């Protein structure tokens, strides 16, 4: 599983690189089902002036469109940063089976750092969570991005 996790996290990092090059917070996400990437996304909040245009939301929409169903119960999401509450809830509502993320989100982490949405009894779906996969690579993009916008 670890080799697959790194393989797909590398694809999520490619999406984060796209966000970085577009001047967005460098977060990327891929949705994988039966060994195939069915959804891709990276942050596009600034470009679209849409606060919901996070990598996870874009990847969920892409995956749902491709398979013709919003239910992704047999899929895994790979994300370079621990999801915020909005994205964690969307992943859970989409019935994602497993969520793998890279860097821990110290400000808004909704799966391990601050909250644990996956354990909320009100949710029907309780995905398996794996955090810290290729965290250094994910953190590197974020560090460079925020240093750049802060003029350091």
Nearest to 103 by CA among 145, 60, 58, 62: 145
Order the strands of the 128-130 sheet from edge to edge.
36-42, 28-33, 75-81, 98-103, 128-130
Active site residue 139: no
Question: Pick the catalytic residue: 15, 56, 97, 137?
Answer: 56
Which residues are annotated as catalytic? 56
């Amino acid at each position: 599983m670890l080799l697959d996790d790194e393989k797909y996290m590398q694809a999520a990092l490619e999406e984060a690189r796209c966000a970085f090059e577009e001047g967005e917070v460098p977060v990327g996400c891929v949705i994988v089902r039966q060994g195939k990437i069915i959804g891709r996304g990276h942050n596009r909040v600034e470009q679209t002036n849409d606060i919901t245009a996070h990598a996870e939301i874009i990847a969920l929409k892409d995956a749902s469109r491709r398979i013709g169903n919003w239910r992704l119960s047999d899929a895994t999401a790979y994300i370079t940063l621990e999801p915020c509450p909005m994205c964690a809830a969307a992943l859970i509502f989409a019935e994602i089976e497993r969520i793998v993320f890279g860097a821990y989100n110290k400000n808004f982490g909704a799966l391990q750092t601050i909250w644990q949405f996956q354990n909320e009894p009100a949710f029907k779906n309780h995905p398996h969570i794996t955090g810290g996969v290729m965290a250094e690579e994910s953190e590197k993009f974020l560090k460079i991005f925020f240093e750049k916008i802060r003029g350091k």
